[in-house]
Structure 1
Amino acid sequence: MRSTSALALLMASLAVGALPACSGDGDTGGDPDAGTSPGTDGGTGGTGNGKCPANAIICENFDNGMNGWKTPDEEHNATIEIDGTRPRSGSGALHVVTEAGHDERTGTEEDPQAIAHLRKDIPTFGTALYARAYVYLNRAAPQDVMGTYFILFSPKDGDFGGIELQGIIKGNFALDDWSGIKGTGWNYQDDLTVTTTPNQWNCIEWGVQRATATATTGHAQVWVNGAQAFDFPNVGMRPFSNFAVGYGFVHPHGDSASETWIDDLAVATTRIGCE
């Protein structure tokens, strides 16, 4: 679960970036009919061609610098920047480097985290939201450590909470749920069939769905290079209004060094697919 200190920092992130970097025809993401019911694949038959769809909330190739992205959370023993060291396409990519040697178990560090993300406000979550990004990891997450890719977050009083897609050992995934909804919590992939591979670009998709725009639980799916890796049940839902992308470890166990690049990010109310 996300640490208390991280929650406090997230509460300080109310003022974050502008709205969509690339938007479609006024789609707000709050249409109660826009999604599919929990338990469905959420778009296997119509995954798109990997390009930003007309209803895109965010289309970002990181070729234009910060482009409205914000870092309201301080960088926790990590650096995050947009540079040209390893773009998948174009001239830029998001580049995250986490420091070695941080270990929350020692109890001696005031801030043992090694993590950094960029954030933007998004239209309030309705019934379905999909994120797609290409991710290049120099290594899989180490044993007993979770590396966070994407975060959906609600900073609203009375609706505070969030969920995040994490990478775990051997290229598997976990879903960290700190929504505060009863009966929900951390959930991990227990099927090794579809995983990420270090030192190459992986197309990672994350789909979050609930049956109605007021449902307090739903489910979340993850795909790698078009193949479904896992479907996380009993995920707590809030009126999420903030999206974060980056990488790093909230609870590192000493082995906290990593280098990650992220490029060709898209967020939409329908599944985007891989190019």
Structure 2
Amino acid sequence: MRSTSALALMMATLAVGALSACGDDDKKDNTPDSGTNTDAGTSTGNGQCPASAIICEDFEDGETGWKQPDEDHHATIAVDSTRPRSGKASVHVKTDPGYNEDTGSGDQQAIAHLRRDIPAFGTKLYTRAYVYLDRASPEGVMGTYFILFSPKDNDFGGIELQGMHSGAFALDDWSGIKGTGWNHQEGTEVTVSPNKWTCIEWGVERANSSATTGHALVWVDGKLAFDFPNVGIRPFTNFGVGYGFVHPKGDSESETWIDDLAVAPERIGCE
């Protein structure tokens, strides 16, 4: 379950309880009945925003078009000039130290995302962003990069791409679809390292617009890192970009920058 607001978290708990760039030759066909696409979202390779892009953002206009978090989860997020990849600005996230879900009371998250409404998810959606981490996520804790979220009372749920301590990835699935859930990258051949800009791509696919499961892929600098099977799909209408920890263990301080973001129904690739 991931951070939106206290109300959303409560609704998610109720909902779950009620529901009992540039090369992808190594892609695995893990979910033939769940919308696996054998071309794995083949990229044009130039990394430029396609004409079909839903979001094409270099953050030079600040937070225009974006919504700040509706609650403070012990982190700040802003568009500033501290470390742009290109131009003069990027998203800057700072998470506060000392939060531990095991020992503290109340909200012990340290996480923040900018949010934006998007058209309802169809069959394919791809995200590309450049990310600069000042450190790997703490041991045993995942940092959340992107979120796809459906806020509808009758279709509540979401999925998110997370980064692990090893530089590998996890897919947190709180869609409430039967047979889905948290999944992690089983191999570490392709990973993210801190203290440099990295091109991260995330693709979510399903066979048709009524399928309730699909799969999700993640690439690092154009190389396929993992293909997550059995991903719950809802008509996601909200996209979040940022960073932070939902289940910190005390070592919750971090600093992250994100720039040159694109979201489209076709794979964007890296520049």
User: Does the TM-score normalized on the shorter chain lie above 0.5?
Assistant: yes
Separation in structure 1 between the aligned mates of residue 3 and residue 112 of structure 2, nearest angstrom: 15
User: Which amino acid in structure 2 is aligned with residue 100 of structure 1?
Assistant: P
Separation in structure 1 between the aligned mates of residue 57 and residue 91 of structure 2, nearest angstrom: 10
Q: 1:237 aligns with which of 233, 236, 242?
A: 233
Please say if 1:178 is aligned against 2:174.
yes
Please say if 1:95 is aligned against 2:86.
no
Separation in structure 1 between the aligned mates of residue 6 and residue 228 of structure 2, nearest angstrom: 23
Q: Is the 8 A contact 2:170 2:184 kept in 1?
A: yes
Separation in structure 1 between the aligned mates of residue 126 and residue 7 of structure 2, nearest angstrom: 23
- How many residue pairs were aligned? 250
- SS where residue 104 of structure 1 aligns? coil
Q: 1:65 aligns with which of 59, 62, 67?
A: 62
- SS where residue 169 of structure 1 aligns? coil
Shift of 1:40: 2.2
Separation in structure 2 between the aligned mates of residue 121 and residue 10 of structure 1, nearest angstrom: 21
Matched residue, 1:23:
none
Q: Compute the TM-score of the two structures, normalised by the length of structure 2.
A: 0.88
Distance 1:239 1:189, change over 3 A: same
Please say if 1:144 is aligned against 2:140.
yes
Separation in structure 2 between the aligned mates of residue 72 and residue 169 of structure 1, nearest angstrom: 25
Q: 1:246 aligns with which of 235, 242, 245?
A: 242
Mapping for residues 7-46 of structure 1, pairs under 5 Å: 8=8, 37-44=35-42, 46=43
Q: Is the 8 A contact 1:80 1:96 kept in 2?
A: yes
Residues 31-60 of structure 1 deviation map (CA, whole Å, 9 limit, x = unaligned): xxxxx941524223x334101001000000
Q: Compute the TM-score of the two structures, normalised by the length of structure 1.
A: 0.87
Separation in structure 2 between the aligned mates of residue 8 and residue 122 of structure 1, nearest angstrom: 18
Separation in structure 1 between the aligned mates of residue 132 and residue 73 of structure 2, nearest angstrom: 21
Distance 1:267 1:102, change over 3 A: same
- SS where residue 246 of structure 1 aligns? strand
Task: Compute the RMSD of aligned alpha carbons.
Answer: 1.9
Residues 113-150 of structure 1 deviation map (CA, whole Å, 9 limit, x = unaligned): 00000000000000000000000000111111010000
Can you give the 5+ residue segments of structure 1 that lack an aligned partner in the other structure? 13-35
Mapping for residues 193-232 of structure 1, pairs under 5 Å: 193-232=189-228
Separation in structure 2 between the aligned mates of residue 111 and residue 256 of structure 1, nearest angstrom: 13
